A and B are shown apart, each in its own frame.
Chain A
Amino acid sequence: MDYKAVIIGGSAGSFQVVTRILNSLPKSFPMPVLLCLHRLKHVRSGFVEALSLKSNIPVDEPYDKEQLKPSRAYLAPANYHMYLELANRIALSTEDAVNHSRPSIDLAFITAANAYRQKLIGIILSGANKDGAFGLKKVRDNGGVTIVQDPNECEVRTMTQSTLQLTPVDHVLTTDQIIKFLNKL
């Protein structure tokens, strides 16, 4: 199967997991990685730099309508929703917060699922909010691959458990297993 993108959502307790994933991806990872992580609205800088430190692929906060490229990671900027627009472009939005969140993981996943359908891999990690559950369901409804971090491994289980309650998923994996899975793509 030829996948177009990986999208990862996480909140409290996901930073270390994302860092490990980015650290283990090959430099030539064949698709873009979209990161929608809850973050403080008013802190604009620091996060992308921290994620970049140990990442094997460049991590950027995209500009509006930026074209996605493989072997790069795109972090949703503070206080913007990040959508997938037609023609492989990012679109940003300042619409109301969803699940008290901007960026909202649900909105990022829903729009990515609409854009990539069965060619999307969605991953939900540790978090203290149900944002992301509905989004991953949409990935599944559109035929994409759905992965949830093993709640037993999560620092905070609310996000992964709400997701598993809402939708069946393809895989429940530990961080090590997620890394193995991505490295086989």
Chain B
Amino acid sequence: MTELGVVDIREIYRTINDTYGYDFSQFAMTSFKQRLERLMIRNNISNTENLINKIKSGDEFFDLFLYEVSVPSTEMFRDPSLWRWLREEFFQEAVAKSLSKFRIWVPNCVSGGELYSLVIVLHEMDLLEKVEIIATTISNKSIEYIKEGRYDLKKLEVSIENYKRFHGHSDFSDYYKLDRYYAFRDTSYLDSVEFRKQKINFDNSPQNVRLILFRNNLIYFNPTLQEKVLQHMFDCLSANGYLITGIREQIRNAGTGKDFEVVNEAECVYKKRIAV
């Protein structure tokens, strides 16, 4: 296996930026290196030069590249206590009583685990009609993958356990079918979701969003980019909009942290604070 050095990685950044205008240079170096090495193994690419040539070869490989350097969500209903809170404390108030459609944005969808958990919760609360969900992804392959519904069996087992801890209202097996190697999620629940392609700089972001579900994505950025992205999320939220991050992503460290107030500390739920 090739181990990539800092010089190799910088060259890869440069190639991507020159060819496609995507700037990866502020991604967290260690994770990005791991993703690149993994991608090289999976696609039989033996060295940096070959990878660079493949990247330059055109959109088809580059879309695969974008898909494979992104980290998919781990399993459905990760942190069941957050999902319970959303159901019992949040959606009941915020969505059920909302006069207009409640806009939710799930940025950087890679495998759809978070998105699918979200639609299940809303479906079980009979609130799918009251929301407008926008899922953005950086690769077309992610959209295809999510719409196909294929799900890794290894992740299914933990998802089932998580759903039990969430105290879901159904039997989790209502939501998928098994074949020999995969589970297939019932994608009819995604019918009302709008999928949008985004670049890694979050162009094309929805505006006036009431809730952004953005867990365990900031960890893949360096502190400078984290701050920039948080500012962007802040701008996309409506007045009193909510942002949810992963439980080890501390936005108080970031420069924009002062603009968010903590709603639920344990689950990292923040609310946009409007300057008076």
A contact residues vs B (CB 8 Å cutoff): 41-42, 44, 61-66, 77, 79-80, 83-86, 91-95, 102, 107, 111, 114
- Among residues of B, the one whose C-beta sits closest to the C-beta of A100 is B154
Give me 13 other A-B pairs in contact (C-beta within 8 A), A42-B80, A64-B219, A93-B34 excluded: A42-B161, A42-B162, A64-B246, A64-B250, A83-B31, A86-B29, A91-B219, A94-B71, A94-B216, A95-B34, A107-B34, A111-B30, A114-B30
The CA of A85 and the CA of B74, in the complex, are separated in Å by 21
Distance (Å) between the CB of B218 and the closest chain A CB? 7
**CB–CB B30/A91 < 8 A:** yes
- Complex interface: chain A residues within 8 A of B250 (CB): 63-64, 66
The contact of A65 among B80, B223, B246, by CB within 8 Å, is B223
**CB–CB A95/B71 < 8 A:** yes
B contact residues vs A (CB 8 Å cutoff): 28-31, 34-35, 71, 73-74, 78-80, 158, 161-162, 165, 216, 218-220, 222-223, 226, 246-250, 253
- Complex interface: chain A residues within 8 A of B31 (CB): 83, 91, 93, 95
Interface of A is mostly: loop
24 A-B pairs within 8 Å (CB atoms) are namely: A42-B158, A42-B162, A61-B248, A62-B248, A63-B249, A64-B250, A65-B219, A65-B222, A79-B78, A80-B219, A83-B30, A83-B31, A85-B29, A85-B30, A91-B219, A92-B248, A93-B71, A94-B74, A94-B216, A94-B219, A95-B31, A95-B34, A102-B74, A107-B34
- Complex interface: chain A residues within 8 A of B158 (CB): 41-42
Instruction: Given A85-B30, A111-B30, answer yes or no on A79-B74 (Cβ-Cβ < 8 Å).
Output: yes
The contact of B165 among A42, A83, A114, by CB within 8 Å, is A42
The CA of A79 and the CA of B165, in the complex, are separated in Å by 16
**Between A and B, how many residue pairs show CB distances below 8 Å?**
67
The CA of A144 and the CA of B15, in the complex, are separated in Å by 34
**CB–CB A94/B73 < 8 A:** yes
The CA of A41 and the CA of B159, in the complex, are separated in Å by 12
**CB–CB B248/A93 < 8 A:** no
- Complex interface: chain B residues within 8 A of A63 (CB): 248-250, 253
- Complex interface: chain A residues within 8 A of B220 (CB): 93
